[in-house]
Chain A
Amino acid sequence: MSQLQIRLEEIMPALQGVIPSIVATSSLDHIPNVTYISQIYYVDPGHVALSFQFFNKTIRNVRENPMLVAILTCPVHYTLYKMTLRYKESQTSGEIFDNMSMQLDALAIVQKKEHIFKLRAADIYEVISIVNV
C-alpha cells in the first residue's frame, strides 16, 4: 500500500488542468525526458489518469519504465506538489475512458476538430506519493 503524505482529494483544484503539469519520465536506459501535459485526471483516492492521444516520448518511456514524476500547480493558491506515479494499465473503454474522452470531445467540438482529437486510451497510474514542493 502506498504511503501518501498529502491525500489526492486535497489537491483537487490542481487536477482540473487549469495550469499544465510538468512530467518527468525516463527510458529503460535512463535517458530522462521532461515535458508539459495538459491535465492529470482524478480517478479515485489512489489513482490518477493521463490521456493518451498521440505517441510521444512520455508514452514510450512509461511503457518501458513505469515510474513518472509530475509537478502540479494549484490554480487557487499556486502551491506546487510533487507526485510520484507508477503506470498500471491503459484503458480504452469504461467509465474513466468515457469521461476523459467526453471532456476532450467537448473541447474539440467547439473548434469543430473532434475528428482529430481522439482519445486513444486512458493511462492509469497508481499514486505512490504526493508532497509539497
Chain B
Amino acid sequence: MLTFDSRNRMSSPDIEKLSLQLVDTNRKMEIFRKVSFELNKLVSLPEKLQTILAILNEQFGLANSLILIPDHEKQVLTVVAGHGYEASIIGQQVSFGEGLIGLAAVRKKHINLTGIRRKQHYLATVSNEGDLNFVKPIGLTDAESQVAIPLLSNDELVAVLMAESRNFCVYDQADENFLITLAQPLAVSIQNSMLYDSMEKKIKERTAELERLNNTKDKFFSIISHDLRGPVTSFQSLTRLFSHYNQEGQSDKIESLCSKVEQSVDNLNHLLENLLDWSLSQTNGIQCSFETISLREFLQNICQIYQPNLSAKEINLALDVDDDICIRVDRHTSATVFRNLISNSIKFTPRNGSIRIAAATEGRQVRIELRDSGVGIDCQRLLNVFQLQGQRSTFGTEKEKGTGLGLMLVKEFTELNDGTITIQSEPGKGTLVTILLPNGK
C-alpha cells in the first residue's frame, strides 16, 4: 500500500520499494531475454538446457539446478542438464513419484519446500517413527530448500526443472512465480527440440531405407544386364549352331550341343530361383514356417541334386551327420542356404577335390560345418562376401557361372532361421563355412 503526504507526494520508503521492484522486474526481463535467445539457437537440446541453467545461476542465483526429461513408458525422469553438480549426474534417473522431482512429475504441480531436514525430523518425532532415513534420490544430500517445477505443454509433462540450496528461504513466492512463467517457453522449446530430433531420426532412417532400396534396384539391373544376359546370349549362339549343324547334317555335333543346352538351362534355373528368393526377401515377402526336420535326410536330398555336378568334376562329398540330429527351421529358406553353399563349394573346388559336411549339437543349437578343398577366398573379398555392394558373380574352376547373389541370400536366410553364419578361408587352403541353427530337440 502506497502512502502520500498532503501534497500528494509519495513517501520515501515507498519510492525505495518501487525502485527495488523496478530493478527486480528489469532483472527478470533480462533473464527472459537471454533465455529466449538461447531457446531460439540451433544447438542440441542438452547444450541449450545447460546454457539456460547457467543463465539462471548467473542472474537468479540458482547455484544447483537440474532439468530432467521424462520417459513416460518406463516411468522415469533422466537428467539432461545440470548446474552445480558433478558431470556424472547427467544420465542419472529418478522414478516417477520418487522425491520432490518425481512427485512434481506425477502430480504436474510445482512444489516449494524449505527447512526440509528440520521438517522431516519433526514428522518423524511427532509420529514416533524413530530413526530417520533421509535418502534423496538425486542432488544435494543436505538440501534445506528445494523447488521443483513441472514444465508442461498442452498439459503434457515435457520436463521437470529442479533447483535446490543448503540455505533456508532461498526461493520466495515471486521467484517461484517467475520460474513458473519461465517454464512455459522452456516447455515449448524442449518439446519442439524433441520433435525436431525425432524427425531428424526418421529422416535418417528413411534415407538409409531409400539407399538400401536404391542399391537393391542397382543390383537387380546389374543381374539383369550381366548375369541373365549371358545365358540368353548362349542360347542364341547355340540356336545358330543347331541350325548350322542341322544344315550340314552333322548329328553327332548336335548331340554334343544338347549337354551344353542342359547345363545352360540348369544355370539359368538356379539364377532365376535365387533371383526370385532374393526379390521376395527384399520386399519382406518371405513367409517362414518353422518345423523340426532331420538334418541328415534334409542334406542328403540337397546333395542328391548336385550329384551330376560332383561326378562331372570327380569331387568326393562326405556327409558326416548323425541320424538323430534335428534342426528347427523353415524348410524352403534353409534349402536355399545349403543349395547355394554346396553349389559354391563345387564351383570353387578343383577336379578330384573334396567337400565334407559335418554336424554336431551344441546345447540349443546345431553346428554345421561345410569344408572344401577349393581355391579359397582372399582376405579382401572375404570381408565383403555378404555385402550387396560390389558383388559380381565369379567363374568357378571350370568356368561355371554364378549369380553373385548366393552368399547374400545365404546370410539373410540363415538369419531368418534364427541362425548365424561365419566363413573362414585362405587362398589355396579351402574354405570352412560354419552355420549355427536352432536345435530341433
- A residues neighboring B (CB under 8 Å): 12-13, 16-20, 38-39, 53-54, 75-76, 98-99, 102-113, 116-117
Given contacts A16-B115, A38-B119, A76-B169, contact A111 B103 (CB under 8 A): no
Instruction: Across the interface, name the chain B residue whose C-beta is closest to A7.
Output: B1
Q: 1/0 per residue B125-162: CB within 8 Å of A?
A: 01101001111100000000010000000000000000
B399 touches A (CB below 8 Å)? no
Residues of the A chain whose Cβ atoms lie less than 8 Å from the Cβ of B134: 110-111
Residues of the A chain whose Cβ atoms lie less than 8 Å from the Cβ of B146: 106
Instruction: Across the interface, name the chain B residue whose C-beta is closest to A14.
Output: B169
- The CA of A91 and the CA of B432, in the complex, are separated in Å by 81
- Are B172 and A12 in contact, CB atoms less than 8 angstroms apart? yes
- Are B169 and A117 in contact, CB atoms less than 8 angstroms apart? no
The 7 listed contacts between A and B (C-beta, < 8 Å) are A13-B169, A16-B169, A18-B115, A18-B169, A54-B127, A102-B103, A111-B120
Residues of the B chain whose Cβ atoms lie less than 8 Å from the Cβ of A107: 113, 116, 119-120, 123
- Are A18 and B113 in contact, CB atoms less than 8 angstroms apart? no
Interface centre among A13, A19, A106, A111 (most CB of B within 10 A): A106
How many B residues touch A, CB cutoff 8 Å? 32
Residues of the A chain whose Cβ atoms lie less than 8 Å from the Cβ of B173: 12
Residues of the B chain whose Cβ atoms lie less than 8 Å from the Cβ of A105: 103
Q: Once A and B bind, how many residue pairs between them come within 8 Å at the CB atom?
A: 82
Q: Could you say which of B2-10, B94-102, B384-392, B412-420 contacts chain A?
A: B94-102
B107 touches A (CB below 8 Å)? yes
B68: shortest Cβ distance to chain A, in Å? Answer: 16
- Are B107 and A117 in contact, CB atoms less than 8 angstroms apart? no
Instruction: Across the interface, name the chain A residue whose C-beta is closest to B168.
Output: A18
Residues of the A chain whose Cβ atoms lie less than 8 Å from the Cβ of B118: 18, 20
Given contacts A110-B99, A111-B132, contact A102 B122 (CB under 8 A): no
- The CA of A75 and the CA of B115, in the complex, are separated in Å by 10
A57: shortest Cβ distance to chain B, in Å? Answer: 13
- Are A106 and B169 in contact, CB atoms less than 8 angstroms apart? no
Residues of the B chain whose Cβ atoms lie less than 8 Å from the Cβ of A16: 114-115, 168-169
B393: shortest Cβ distance to chain A, in Å? Answer: 68
- B residues neighboring A (CB under 8 Å): 97-100, 102-103, 107, 109, 111, 113-116, 118-120, 122-124, 126-127, 129, 132-136, 146, 168-169, 172-173
Residues of the B chain whose Cβ atoms lie less than 8 Å from the Cβ of A116: 127, 129
Residues of the B chain whose Cβ atoms lie less than 8 Å from the Cβ of A54: 126-127
- Are B122 and A38 in contact, CB atoms less than 8 angstroms apart? yes
- Are B111 and A110 in contact, CB atoms less than 8 angstroms apart? no
- Are B169 and A111 in contact, CB atoms less than 8 angstroms apart? no
Interface centre among B113, B146, B169 (most CB of A within 10 A): B169
Sample of 8 more A-B contacts, CB < 8 Å, known A109-B100, A113-B123, A117-B123: A12-B172, A75-B115, A102-B109, A107-B113, A107-B116, A109-B102, A110-B99, A110-B134
Residues of the A chain whose Cβ atoms lie less than 8 Å from the Cβ of B99: 106, 109-110
Instruction: Across the interface, name the chain A residue whose C-beta is closest to B134.
Output: A110
Instruction: Across the interface, name the chain B residue whose C-beta is closest to A13.
Output: B169
A55: shortest Cβ distance to chain B, in Å? Answer: 12
- The CA of A131 and the CA of B327, in the complex, are separated in Å by 90
- The CA of A106 and the CA of B109, in the complex, are separated in Å by 12
Residues of the B chain whose Cβ atoms lie less than 8 Å from the Cβ of A38: 119, 122-123
Given contacts A18-B169, A117-B127, contact A109 B119 (CB under 8 A): no
- The CA of A90 and the CA of B116, in the complex, are separated in Å by 25
Instruction: Across the interface, name the chain A residue whose C-beta is closest to B1.
Output: A7
Residues of the A chain whose Cβ atoms lie less than 8 Å from the Cβ of B132: 111
- Are A98 and B109 in contact, CB atoms less than 8 angstroms apart? yes
- The CA of A104 and the CA of B113, in the complex, are separated in Å by 10
Instruction: Across the interface, name the chain A residue whose C-beta is closest to B102.
Output: A109
Given contacts A107-B119, A109-B98, contact A17 B114 (CB under 8 A): yes
Instruction: Across the interface, name the chain B residue whose C-beta is closest to A95.
Output: B109
Instruction: Across the interface, name the chain B residue whose C-beta is closest to A113.
Output: B129
- Are A102 and B111 in contact, CB atoms less than 8 angstroms apart? yes
Specify which of B103, B122, B124 is in contact with A109 (CB 8 Å cutoff).
B103
Interface centre among A54, A98, A105 (most CB of B within 10 A): A105
A106: shortest Cβ distance to chain B, in Å? Answer: 5
B148: shortest Cβ distance to chain A, in Å? Answer: 8
Residues of the A chain whose Cβ atoms lie less than 8 Å from the Cβ of B111: 102-103, 106
B16: shortest Cβ distance to chain A, in Å? Answer: 15
